């Protein structure tokens, strides 16, 4: 950091360490056990309004690391923002130390238990996955920010597959520590699957539809897209110019609460060091806010909202993003980041 400050106007270091284990069963049988561990440091420098970027898996050659970031300034990537000075974060209970002692054997035994329970009550193919993950993040910048956080995650996924297809009745569960899946939750999957095997042919026309709570996730992707600061700046959002208007039914209130540490992955700051806070998106049907990272907030001349999260391990510039990836994707690919979801 001291080296970078001498040759740039602003500098930021982002350090990430992740470890995880995953277990998967296919058709009731053990298919794979996977362990992953990765860490690294990225550097962003701002000089004369331009952004430079580099990353490394180690700091053996710090001079070369810095020079790589300075060399990337030749790309003339605009940096219309200042790095934040962040202090006095709210304490969050986002890490459960017991996750460190969770063994692959325990996850295998839990998967076996669930497989035996479900396969004894249905003829459908049963696929089960379990995984644990720990993440530690530290962000330092030239304005004096030096913040860190850690969070733990245990995820479990059960699916009963329909014959000759990839479709299934499935459900994920996430916690900060290991917890056994309740039999009542497994019975719900079984009852839903077994009843859905009977095909019906309804008449055409407009009909009422009942959605399960998990379906809300697919609908929230649309809300995320239209309120994304990037899409507002690029003028491709269908709600452009409709801020403070009643866009939805008054029964709908939608807000992001990244400080809710009852949910795994709670964060007090985003991947740029901007403070996170409860953030309303829709209030009684009225569209109240769009969300921004540093870059698009700077382009739009508005304050950042604490939604500058990296979609990949090492991105030059985070994007305004806050919905989580599908949990089944996390279980099969533990290096994916799980972000705090919108809550209703």
CA atoms of 46 and 216, how far apart (whole Å): 40
Can you give the pLDDT at residue 315?
58
Residues 6+ apart with CB under 8 A from 58: none
Which one, of 245, 244, 229, lies nearest residue 302 by Cα? 229
State percent of the chain over pLDDT 90: 77
**Mean pLDDT, range 79-106, rounded to an integer:** 95
Which one, of 142, 148, 140, lies nearest residue 267 by Cα? 148
| pLDDT surpassing 80 at residue 97 | yes
Task: State CA 106 to chain mean position distance.
Answer: 26
Can you give the pLDDT at residue 209?
84
- Tell me the pLDDT of the chain averaged across its residues: 89
| pLDDT surpassing 80 at residue 80 | yes
Say if CB 320 and CB 229 are below 8 A apart.
yes
Token duo for residue 297: 């907030």
| pLDDT surpassing 50 at residue 325 | no
In this prediction the pTM is: 0.86
- Phi/psi for 169 (5° steps) reads -100, 120
169-188 pLDDT, tens digit per residue, is 999 999 999 999 999 999 99
- CA angle (241, 244, 250) in 5-degree steps: 125
Can you give the pLDDT at residue 329?
32
- H helices present in the chain, as ranges: 2-7, 62-71, 104-119, 183-196, 216-226, 229-233, 294-300, 327-332
Least confident of 33-37, 100-104, 314-318: 314-318
Can you give the pLDDT at residue 317?
59
| pLDDT surpassing 90 at residue 323 | no
Token duo for residue 162: 């329909």
Can you give the pLDDT at residue 211?
83
CA atoms of 181 and 193, how far apart (whole Å): 18
């Amino acid at each position: 950091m001291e080296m970078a400050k001498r040759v740039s106007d602003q500098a930021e270091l982002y350090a990430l360490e992740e470890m995880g284990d995953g277990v998967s069963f296919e058709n009731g049988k053990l298919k794979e056990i996977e362990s992953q561990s990765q860490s690294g440091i990225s550097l962003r420098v701002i000089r004369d309004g331009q952004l430079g970027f580099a990353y490394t898996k180690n700091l053996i050659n710090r001079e070369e690391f810095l020079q790589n970031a300075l060399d990337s300034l030749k790309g003339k990537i605009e940096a219309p923002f200042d790095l934040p000075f962040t202090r006095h974060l709210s304490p969050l209970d986002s890490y459960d130390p017991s996750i460190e002692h969770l063994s692959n054997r325990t996850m295998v035994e839990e998967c076996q238990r669930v497989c035996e329970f479900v396969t004894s009550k249905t003829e459908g193919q049963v696929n089960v996955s379990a995984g644990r993950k720990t993440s530690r993040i530290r962000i330092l910048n030239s304005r004096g920010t030096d913040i860190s956080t850690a969070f733990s995650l245990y995820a479990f996924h059960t699916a009963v597959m329909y014959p000759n297809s990839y479709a299934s009745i499935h459900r994920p569960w996430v916690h900060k520590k290991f917890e056994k899946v309740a039999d009542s939750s497994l019975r719900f999957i079984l009852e839903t699957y077994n009843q859905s095997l009977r095909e019906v042919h309804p008449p055409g026309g407009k009909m009422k539809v009942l959605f399960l709570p998990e379906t809300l996730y697919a609908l929230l992707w649309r809300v995320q897209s239209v309120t994304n600061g990037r899409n507002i700046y690029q003028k491709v959002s269908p709600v452009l110019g409709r801020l403070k208007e009643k866009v939805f039914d008054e029964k709908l209130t939608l807000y992001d609460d990244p400080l809710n540490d009852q949910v795994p992955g709670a964060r007090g700051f985003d991947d740029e060091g901007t403070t996170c806070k409860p953030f309303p998106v829709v209030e009684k049907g009225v569209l109240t806010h769009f969300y921004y990272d540093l870059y698009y907030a700077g382009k739009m001349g508005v304050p950042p909202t604490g939604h500058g999260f990296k979609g990949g391990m090492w991105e030059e510039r985070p994007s305004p993003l806050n919905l989580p990836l599908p949990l089944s994707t996390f279980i099969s690919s533990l290096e994916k980041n799980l972000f705090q979801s919108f809550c209703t």
